[in-house]
Structure formats: structure tokens, C-alpha cells
Amino acid sequence: MCQVECADGVKKIEEIAGVDGVDCIQMGPLDLSASLGYLWDPGNKKVREMMNVAEKGVLKRVPGDGGAYLSGFAMPFDGPEKLKSRGYHMVSGAVDIGMFRSAAVEDVKKFKMSLVDGDDDEKDCKDGEEKYWSE
């Protein structure tokens, strides 16, 4: 499985999809947007146009017969139904960076709330047992 995340990769996507042993091409819209100069804007018209070029390039060949499957990430503006209608074989419902960001934001909220509530480490320790800060 190869992930295509830049304009150079899109330009050579038919070659990449035809490599023996490459079973799937995973499109990376967030990284593609960054590589095109539109950081955090995968819905940008130029990024979407580049994604369409890539999708068509992968789908020119039949998977299992010299071609690769097409895989991608569902986005708020580009849901799984839309990806499926464009020929995607596999759709991921979560994006790693989004999950990391959500976890970090939640951790900061908990930390701030503990300061507001007057929570401190000593309340969480029982019988001299130390707790990790993340618990």
C-alpha cells in the first residue's frame, strides 16, 4: 500500500499504481493540500482538482489485473458516500492528525478544568501511591 501526498506522486500515479506488488493507493488529502501550498485546506479547488486527477489515474487500471485499489480518507466536505461514488474501494473514517489533535485538546481542557476546580495531585494519591499525570 502506497500513500500519495504530493503533486509529484500524483503526476506519476499511473506508474505507481501499476508497480507489481502495489495493491492499494491511499490518497492523503491533508498532506497533499500542504504540499500544494494550501495547509489544512484539502477542500481547496486546486487540491480537489489534483485529487480528481489522482483518482482517475488509479482507476484506469483494474485492481488485481495490473492495477491497484483506491483508498482515501473521508472528510467533512467529502464523505464516504461521495468517495464511494467516485470509485474508492476503501475509505478511512478517521484521520490520524485529527485524532491526535482532538486528544491533545481534550487533555488541555482537563488540565485547565483541574486548575479551576482546585484539583491537585495530593487528592489523587492514596496511601502514598503516586499517580501518573495522565491518569
The model's pLDDT over 58-101, given as tens digits with 9 standing for 90+, comes to 999 989 888 999 999 998 889 999 999 999 999 998 767 777 87
Picking from 29, 27, 16, the residue whose alpha carbon sits closest to that of residue 67 is 16
46 CB contacts (<8 Å, ≥6 apart)? 36, 38
Q: How far apart are CA 32 and CA 108, in angstroms?
A: 29
CATH 3.90.1300.10 fits 2-92, yes or no: no
Q: Is 120 exposed, middle or buried (0-12, 13-18, 19+ CB in 10 A)?
A: exposed
pLDDT, tens digit, 9 for 90 and up, residues 25-62: 999 999 999 999 999 899 999 999 999 999 999 999 98
